[in-house]
Amino acid sequence: MKNLMSLNCAQKISVLNVDERLEIYTQFFAKGEKLLDIPEKATRTDMKDEISPLSLMSAAVCQDAGKAFGNNPNALNEMHERLAKQKNKIK
């Protein structure tokens, strides 16, 4: 599982797995014995205007932190509205 390690709210950029390794433990939340330490490349994602699980999560984090996602303080609400409109079109 990758962790969201760095998020630029203003420019909609996330960097996943900044420390470039994946650690596997015997228990959840990095508890217990460490079994593996797997090297992994960091992944940079530029979120344009798409609605994805990552962009929704990032917008929620930015909103909770008091930051504007893509310089839009209502970004999360607007994404929810766009999803609702798409859902209504499908019906």
Q: What are the pLDDT digits (tens) for 16-53?
A: 766 666 677 888 777 788 887 776 777 788 888 889 99
pLDDT at 72 over 70: yes
∠ CA 84-89-91, rounded to 5°:
100
Q: pLDDT tier at 58 (50, 70, 90 boundaries)?
A: very high
Percentage of residues in the chain with pLDDT exceeding 70? 85
Query: The tokens of 89 are what?
Result: 């079109």
Q: What is the C-alpha separation between 75 and 56, in angstroms, rounded? A: 9
CB 40 within 8 A of CB 22: yes
Q: What is the C-alpha separation between 37 and 19, in angstroms, rounded? A: 11
Q: How many domains in the chain?
A: 1
CB 86 within 8 A of CB 80: no
Domain span holding position 51: 4-90
